[in-house]
Chains A and B, each alone.
Chain A
Amino acid sequence: MSKMTLQTEGDTHVVVTRRFAAPPEAVYRAHTDPKLVQKWMLGPEGWTMPVCISEAKPGGKIRYEWSNGKGAGFHLTGEYLELEPYSRLVHVERMHLPDTTPDNHVETRFDADGTGTLMTVRMTLPDAQTRAAMLATGMERGMEASYVRLEGMI
Chain B
Amino acid sequence: MDAASNLNAAFSALADPTRRAILARLAKGEATVMELAAPFEMTQPAISQHLKVLEGAGLVVRRVDGTRRPRRLAKAGVEAMDQWLAMLRKALEKNYDRLDEVLASMEKQKRGEKR
Determine whether the beta carbon of A43 is less than 8 Å from that of B24.
Answer: no
| A148 lies within 8 A of B85 (CB) | yes
Given A30-B106, A129-B15, A153-B14, verify A147-B95 contact (CB < 8 Å). no
Q: Do A21 and B103 touch (CB < 8 A)?
A: yes
Q: Are B104 and A21 in contact (CB under 8 A)?
A: yes
Task: Give Cα A94–Cα B17 distance, bound, in whole angstroms.
Answer: 25
Minimum C-beta distance from B24 to chain A (A): 5
Q: Are B103 and A153 in contact (CB under 8 A)?
A: no
- B65 lies within 8 A of chain A by Cβ: no
Residues of B with C-beta under 8 A to A4:
89, 92-93, 96
Q: Is the CB of A141 within 8 A of B103?
A: no
Please pick, from B27, B88, B92, B99, the residue contacting A30 in the complex, using a CB distance under 8 A: B99
Q: Which residues of A contact B24 (CB under 8 A)?
A: 152-153
Within 8 A of B (CB), among A32-80: 36, 39-45
Q: Are B95 and A40 in contact (CB under 8 A)?
A: yes
> Are the CB atoms of B8 and A6 closer together than 8 Å?
no
Nearest A residue (CB) for B73: A154
Max count, chain B CB within 10 A of own CB: residue among A4, A39, A41, A154: A154
Q: How far is the CA of A16 from the CA of B16 in the complex (A)?
A: 21
B42: interface (CB < 8 Å): no
Q: List residues of chain B with CB within 8 A of the CB of A132.
A: 11-15
Residue B100 CB within 8 A of the other chain: yes
Whether, in the assembled complex, A29 has its beta carbon less than 8 Å from a beta carbon of chain B, the answer is: yes
1/0 per position for A1-45, CB-CB distance to B under 8 A? Answer: 101101000010000101011100011011000001001111111
A30-B103, A30-B106 given; 5 more Cβ-contact pairs under 8 Å: A4-B96, A26-B106, A29-B106, A135-B88, A142-B88
